[in-house]
Amino acid sequence: MTELVCVGAVAGAYGVRGEVRLKSFCAEPEAIADYAPLQTEDGAHSYSVVLTGQMKNGFTAHLGGVATKEQADALKGLRLYAPRDRLPALEDDEFYHADLIGLEVVDTGGTVLGRVKAVMNHGADDLLEVYGPGMKATVLIPFTRTVVPTVDLTLGRIVADPPEGLF
Amino acid sequence: MTRSVWKGPFVDAYVLKKAEAARESGRNDVIKIWSRRSTILPQFVGLTFGVYNGQKHIPVSVTEDMIGQKFGEYSPTRTYYGHAADKKAKRK
């Protein structure tokens, strides 16, 4: 499991009073403030977040310790991370994309099929995008109980029983 | 302009034929189709189609609330990954 999860980024300064334009990557964009204080990838800096308004593609916000436009300008492009354990607990059979990405995918016989590259949803079921050595292109497998009977986050492994015609 | 009701829903004949064969065989294989324009019919519920998006076949498990829509709606032709952040996936 990843320790830090990227939940947003600073798009630039907003106004002259030290506010920033904040892009949220969360499923519910306003939830980015719930995960505060947010930190940089190396953990060197930590910022409290107060959303002050909404704008196209994001929010305006006050970050803790950022008081001037120059300080806000300097943060442009900065990615903000939240510790994984700050994300709310999930129901049965629910998983965070961040937990699934990178897991090893094996078939029921134990043969390694590849690793999870991304999790997608195009309106039907959730899909796991799997890539592996020797594969020309990625393969999408439906994230259902029949196709993916076991998800073991502690072992970092997914057991899949993909239907004929996928691999 | 919407399609006239008297014509009934449009489905490519080969899709119907493949779906029928899959249902009779009882196997849960992915039915590869290229017809994005075909309407999803009630008899397709429970089957998994691999709908071509110009590059590969995207698996689409048909459920009841998809009836009446087109296969192509569930197989986007452009890829957007985005960030995982706190997004969740539910295993059905």
Contact of B78 with chain A, judged by CB distance below 8 Å, is answered with no
Task: Nearest chain A residue to B80 by CA: give it.
Answer: A120
DSSP H or E stretch at residue A71: helix A69-74
User: For chain B, what is the domain count?
Assistant: 1
Residue B21 covered by a domain: no
The model carries a pTM of 0.84
ipTM exceeding 0.85, yes/no: no
Q: Could you say which of A90, A140, A145 has the minimum Cβ distance to residue B59? A: A140
Cβ distance A38 to A83 under 8 Å? Answer: no
| Coil/strand/helix, residue A5 | strand
Amino acid present at A133: P
A3-55 residue pLDDT tens: 899 999 999 999 999 999 999 999 899 999 999 899 999 989 999 999 999 99
Residue B84 covered by a domain: no
Amino acid present at A81: Y
Task: Nearest chain B residue to A167 by CA: give it.
Answer: B30
Amino acid present at A14: Y
Three-class SS string for A6-65?
Answer: EEEEEEEEECCCCEEEEEECCCCHHHHHHHCCEECCCCCCEECEEEEEEECCEEEEEECC
Question: What pLDDT is stored for residue A122 in this prediction?
Answer: 86
Residue B13 covered by a domain: no
**Domains plus CATH for chain A?**
4-86 (2.40.30.60), 97-160 (2.30.30.240)
CB contact under 8 A, B48 and A118: no
Residue with tokens 């990227």, as numbered in its chain: A6
Question: pLDDT by residue for chain B (92 residues), tens digit each?
Answer: 889 999 999 999 999 999 999 999 988 789 999 999 999 999 999 999 999 999 999 999 999 999 999 999 999 999 888 888 888 888 88
Residue B86 covered by a domain: no
Q: What range defines the domain where residue B62 resides?
A: 27-77
Residue with tokens 């493949």, as numbered in its chain: B18
Q: Is the dihedral of CA A102, A106, A107, A113 positive or negative?
A: positive
Contact of A167 with chain B, judged by CB distance below 8 Å, is answered with no
Any idea what the CATH number is for the domain that residue B43 is in?
3.30.860.10
Residue B14 covered by a domain: no
How big is chain A by its Cα radius of gyration, in Å?
A: 19
Tokens matching residue A95: 């998983």
CB contact under 8 A, B32 and A126: no
Cα B82 from Cα A25, distance rounded (Å): 8
